[in-house]
């Protein structure tokens, strides 16, 4: 059985993240377990969020289990991965900040995965009038370039976080910023994606995207509070 090109790209994304994280793990062996927690959490979250967003619509179909086995969503992967990291950190009693590294790993992995989507023809945009930016699907319809747009967003995010790291800006908050920005991007972009609507123009992924935004803001506020240093007041002599 051969593996499709998009599957190889997804595996390549995981391999790149493993190599990257393995180098970090030399500093502290507990980081290996944190990465495993992130990977397992992302896998479970991607499946669970897919089912809640649209998979339940397939209940009763003869191909339900096949669709469930292949269905997944990046939004759920981010939510589940975040939860997996926090659980693993508590188990291994690791109090360090890891989000800034995941803010680099996540966009890179998503870019590789989206190349696979582009080759496979999934995650399409809505049909629209022919233009220089539209993509033609196998049936000949012109569509919004949903996959390239998301790749462009993640390229911009990757460059931004590299710059933030270089200039040491907002340390410890990079992944929270990514969750907020990707959630807002995905909420707006969802109107241009050809996903199944469940309430007017809204899809289940709109709710999941808002969940990312809320989680990002909550994590940002909690981290900001934990990193705040209260300087003692010094009385001056008169």
CA distances from 211 to 48, 188, 238 (A): 14, 14, 54
More confident residue, 65 or 25: 65
Q: Where does residue 222 rank: exposed (0-12), middle (13-18), buried (19+ CB within 10 A)?
A: exposed
| Confidence category of residue 231, pLDDT binned at 50, 70, 90 | very low
Domain boundaries, the chain: 5-222
The pLDDT assigned to 10 comes to 60
The confidence score (pLDDT) of residue 22 equals 73
Residue pair 183/172 in contact (Cβ under 8 Å)? The answer is no
pLDDT above 80: residue 24? no
Beta bridge pairs of residue 197: 203
Q: What is the dihedral of CA 107, 197, 54, 126, to 10 degrees?
A: -40
Q: Is the pTM of this model over 0.95?
A: no
Strands 197-199 and 202-203 come out as antiparallel
Q: Structure tokens of 167? A: 């200039």
Q: With bands split at pLDDT 50, 70 and 90, how would you rate the model's confidence at 184?
A: very high
pLDDT digits (tens, 9 = 90+) for 30-85: 998 998 999 999 999 999 999 999 999 999 999 999 888 888 899 999 999 999 99
Q: Which residues pair with 121 in a beta bridge?
A: none
Give the helix ranges, DSSP H, for 94-203: 99-120, 146-166, 174-189
Beta bridge partners of 136: 142
Residue with tokens 């909550």: 218
The number of residues making up the chain comes to 238
Q: What is the mean pLDDT of the chain?
A: 88
Taking every pair of C-alpha atoms in the chain, what is the biggest distance, in angstroms?
Answer: 85
d(CA 146, CA 136): 12
Of 230 and 193, the one with more pLDDT: 193
- For the residues of 10-30, what is the DSSP string, one character each? HHHHHHHHHHHHHHHHTT-TH
Q: Is 86 helix (H, G, I), strand (E, B) or coil?
A: helix
């Amino acid at each position: 059985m051969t593996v499709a090109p998009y599957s190889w790209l997804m595996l390549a994304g995981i391999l790149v993240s493993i190599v990257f994280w393995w180098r970090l793990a030399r500093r502290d062996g507990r980081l290996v377990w944190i990465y495993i927690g992130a990977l397992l959490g992302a896998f479970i979250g991607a499946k669970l969020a897919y089912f809640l967003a649209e998979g339940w619509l397939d209940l009763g179909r003869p191909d339900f289990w096949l669709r469930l086995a292949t269905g997944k969503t990046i939004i759920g992967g981010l939510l589940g991965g975040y939860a997996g990291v926090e659980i693993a950190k508590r188990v291994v009693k690791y109090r360090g900040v890891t989000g800034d590294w995941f803010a680099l790993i996540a966009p890179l992995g998503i870019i590789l995965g989206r190349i696979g989507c582009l080759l496979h023809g999934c995650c399409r945009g809505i049909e629209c009038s022919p233009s220089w930016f539209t993509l033609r699907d196998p049936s000949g319809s012109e569509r919004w370039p949903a996959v390239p747009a998301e790749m462009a967003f993640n390229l911009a995010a990757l460059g931004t976080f590299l710059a933030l790291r270089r200039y040491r800006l907002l340390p410890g908050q990079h992944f929270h910023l990514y969750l907020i920005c990707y959630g807002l991007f995905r909420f707006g972009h969802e109107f241009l994606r050809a996903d199944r609507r469940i309430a007017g123009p809204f899809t289940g992924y709109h709710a999941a995207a808002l969940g990312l935004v809320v989680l990002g803001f909550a994590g940002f506020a909690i981290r900001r509070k934990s990193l705040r240093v209260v300087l003692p007041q010094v009385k001056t002599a008169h």
